[in-house]
Amino acid sequence: MTPLSLQEFLSREEALAGSDPVLTRLLVGISEACKEISAKVREGALAGVLGLAGSENVQGEEQKKLDIISNDIFVEAVARTGAVCGMVSEEVPEPIAVPEELPLGPYLACFDPLDGSSNIDINVSIGSIFAILPAERPKRVPAPQDFLQPGRNLTAAGYCMYGPQTILALTLGRGVFLFTLDDVTGTFRLTKENVRVPREAKEFAINMSNQRFWEAPVVRYVSELLQGKDGPRGKNYNMRWVAAMVAEVHRILMRGGIFMYPRDSRNPERAGKLRLLYEANPMSMLMENAGGASTNGHERIRDIVPNSIHERVAVFLGAAEEVETVTGYHKA
Ligand code: AFP
């Protein structure tokens, strides 16, 4: 039997769990944007999308051509659904309004249109991340304040990974579902239901080159993992680092593990590297819905009330037992 398409899955969710048809329209719009980005990624140099754009984003990071192309695709596709009244993108300093000629809807969308930019030009996995929040009341000009809601308010979250296959991961708060893009028909089809992350882990992911800048609890935790069978954890761990959060989270959803991007002393006033609204929150919602956990070392990420739309946060997410251990070390 042919697996359900994303549209069929969302219609089933409407019938079984009473999810909102407007949300369905929004998620289908996002999946269309991901399809378009996936096609550009596949063409690479042939589509002229590789290399630098010659500009910087709000974080002061150099923008790649594909960052800007993906942002434009996302903004247009999401606005066109008529399901949102504002958007926040990693690539744009202020909230983005829906053009006058388009209708407004009851949701707010936050996204990182192209995560893992440093992998673009070397043909390694990259992705898009998205988070859907309810809007208190639809209005033409969105304010930053509208988006400053804790991640526990999210209605839906997901990512699309542009890897050997294009895979969309989605949660509406009732489990995590994976859809693989059939390139021939252009249809996302349900290929894994109710993904579960094992409580225990055998793998960890962290950029070890920053070790000398870490805080003491992280140094302690990682050194115990590195001691393997001979250390207090009593087992060997393997390490992976793709430098694209989408790929790390996808690996953890498929075979377990823990991902960390702690705060560090390179930039003491910065709470971490990853962005709360469109990286940490949606990935935390996915993790929690797959039975994993997610903290900033001190508290559950989805309980943090943001102060600004591009706020950064330290991230520890994945296998519940590991996240509890490293979080416990921060409290010791
Ligand atoms: P970009 O999307 O700006 O390339 O950043 C990717 C990312 O935010 C996240 O996806 C990675 O886990 C992390 O940065 C990698 O950071 P390092 O380059 O410091 O290892």
Burial of 99 by CB count in 10 Å (0-12 exposed, 13-18 middle, 19+ buried)?
exposed
Last residue in a domain, options 192, 221, 242? 192
Helix (H) or strand (E) holding 75: helix 65-80
Banded pLDDT at 182 (limits 50, 70, 90): very high
Identify the pLDDT of residue 137.
Answer: 87
Joined tokens for residue 291: 């039975």
55, pLDDT greater than 80: no
Q: Within this chain, do residues 121 and 223 fall inside the same structural domain, yes or no?
A: no
Please determine, for residue 62, whether its predicted confidence score (pLDDT) is greater than 80: no
pLDDT, position 91:
93
pLDDT band at 48 (very low <50, low <70, confident <90, very high): confident
pLDDT band of residue 181 (cuts 50, 70, 90) is: very high
Q: For atom 12 of ligand 1, which residue has the closest CA?
A: 245
Q: Which phi and psi angles does 260 have, rounded to 5°?
A: -135, 135
The answer on 176 and 210 residing in a single domain is: no
Which protein residue's CA is at the shortest distance from atom 15 of ligand 1? 243
Cα distances from 242 to residues 205, 272, 278, in angstroms, run 8, 18, 19
The yes-or-no verdict on residue 63 having pLDDT over 90 is: no
Tell whether residue 183 is among the known ligand binding residues: no
Residue nearest to atom 16 of ligand 1 (CA): 243
Residue 313 is predicted with a pLDDT of 98
pLDDT band at residue 279 using 50, 70 and 90 as cut-offs: very high
Q: Is 1 domain-assigned?
A: no
Ligand 1, atom 8, lies closest to the CA of 274
**22 in the same domain as 156:** yes
The answer to whether the CB of 116 is under 6 A from ligand 1 is yes
Mean pLDDT for all residues in the chain: 95
Mean of the pLDDT values across residues 162-176? 97
pTM: 0.96
Q: Which of 319, 276, 320, 324 is nearest to 297 (CA)?
A: 324
Q: Which of 55, 250, 252, 274 to mutate to test the pocket of ligand 1 (most atoms within 8 A of CB)?
A: 274
What's the domain count of the chain? 2
The most confident of 10-19, 44-53, 234-243, by mean pLDDT: 234-243
84 lines ligand 1 (CB under 6 A): no
Nearest CA to ligand 1 atom 6: 116
Ligand 1 near 61 CB (within 6 A): yes
pLDDT tens per residue, range 137-158: 889 999 999 999 999 999 999 9
Which contiguous run of DSSP H or E holds residue 109?
strand 107-115
245 lines ligand 1 (CB under 6 A): yes
Q: What is the pLDDT of residues 209-263, one digit of tens each?
A: 999 999 999 999 999 999 999 999 999 999 999 999 999 999 999 999 999 999 9
Indicate whether 325 pLDDT > 90.
yes
State the CB neighbour count (10 A cutoff) for residue 13: 19
The pLDDT of residue 60 is 72
Q: What is the mean pLDDT of residues 75-80?
A: 98
In a domain, 185, yes or no: yes
Question: Three-state SS string across 137-195, please?
Answer: CCCCCCCHHHHCCCHHHCCEEEEEEECCCEEEEEECCCCEEEEEEECCCCEEEEEECCC
Burial class (CB in 10 A: 0-12, 13-18, 19+), 224: middle
Task: Find the mean pLDDT for residues 113-124.
Answer: 93
Residues 184-194 have pLDDT tens digits of 999 999 999 99
Q: Could you tell me the CATH number of the domain that includes residue 187?
A: 3.30.540.10
Residues 101 and 132 in one domain: yes
In this prediction, residue 13 carries a pLDDT of 94
For residue 86, give the nearest of 138, 32, 136, 157 by alpha carbon: 138
pLDDT of residue 251: 98
**Residue 278: per-residue pLDDT:** 98
CB 292 within 8 A of CB 318: yes
- Res. 53: pLDDT tops 90: no
What is the atom index within ligand 1 of the atom nearest the CA of 209?
Answer: 20
Q: Is 71 in the pocket of ligand 1 (CB under 6 A)?
A: no
Domain boundary among 192, 222, 241: 192
How remote is the CA of residue 244 from the centroid of ligand 1, in Å? 5
* pLDDT, mean of residues 168-195: 97
**CATH code: domain of residue 263:** 3.40.190.80
The gap from C-alpha 229 to its chain's centroid, in whole angstroms, comes to: 33
- Cβ 207 under 6 angstroms from ligand 1: yes
Token pair listed for 84: 């949102």
pLDDT at 78 over 80: yes
Residue at a domain's end among 192, 218, 233? 192
On whether 303 is known to bind a ligand per the annotation, the reply is no
Confidence of residue 46 (pLDDT cuts 50, 70, 90): confident
> Residue 170 Cα, ligand 1 centroid: separation in angstroms?
21
198 within a domain of the structure (yes/no): no
Ligand 1 closest atom vs CA 59 = 3
If you measure from the C-alpha of residue 70 to the centroid of ligand 1, how many angstroms do you get, rounded to a whole number? 17
54 pLDDT band, cuts 50/70/90, is: confident
Residue 230 marked in a binding site: no
